[in-house]
A = this chain, B = another copy of it.
Amino acid sequence: MPLSTDPILEARRNWDRHGWPAADAMAAATSITRAHQLLLAEIDRTLRPFDLNFSRFEALALLHSSRSGALPMGKIGERLQVHAASVTNTIDRLERDGLVARTAHPTDGRTRLAAITNRGREVVDDAARALGAVDFGVAGLDALGHRAVESALAPVRAAAGDIPDDAPAPPSGSTAG
């Protein structure tokens, strides 16, 4: 159900009217928030048939991509940028569903490894293709649009330390900042 007016345009008008600062930053931030909202809804909808949500999918994909298929809980949280308690919760659920198994670290008794199971690999593979089929929730963008999004957001992530200084630049598209 389309809105009758662009809420961000509206917000910008009001922002200016009140004399509040950084209207452009507000519009950018709100754009990100809105896009994220829409995105996540579509992604979760797509993932539902696989009994996954985005968090669990990300964890599974991360394990699937790791050399040995197993990673310490802490590493997962670091890579996914979520709290350790969330990792515990996520892996709990994946383990309950038989997609992951907790194993002991060979040398460090404190560390627990989350290891993806064969079923986990199958599920994440199917889920990834399903996400691809719906363009990962960013329908409405062509190839150039994808690059534009990635490039435009890179400075935001970089400022927060999400991208190391020595990383290769994002692929083409217009950057700023």
Given contacts A29-B136, A31-B153, contact A148 B162 (CB under 8 A): no
Contact A148 B152 (CB under 8 A): yes
> From A150, which residue of chain B is reached at the shortest CB distance?
B31
Binds B, one of A37-45, A95-103, A112-120: A37-45
- Least distance between A146 CB and chain B CB atoms (Å): 4
Any chain B CB within 8 A of the CB of A85? Answer: no
Within A127-142, the residues touching B (CB, 8 Å) are 128-129, 131-133, 135-142
Q: Max chain B CB contacts within 10 Å: which of A35, A151, A161, A162?
A: A35
| Copies of this protein chain in the complex | 2
- Least distance between A62 CB and chain B CB atoms (Å): 8
Which size class do A's interface residues fall under?
35 or more
Which A residues contact B (CB, under 8 angstroms)?
A: 1-9, 11, 14-15, 17-18, 20-22, 24-29, 31-40, 42-43, 54, 61, 64-65, 78-79, 81, 125, 128-129, 131-133, 135-165, 167-168, 173-177
19 additional A-B pairs beyond A3-B162, A33-B39, A145-B152, beta carbons within 8 Å, are: A3-B163, A5-B167, A15-B128, A18-B65, A22-B131, A22-B135, A24-B143, A25-B138, A28-B136, A34-B157, A35-B36, A35-B157, A139-B160, A140-B160, A141-B159, A142-B176, A148-B174, A149-B156, A173-B174
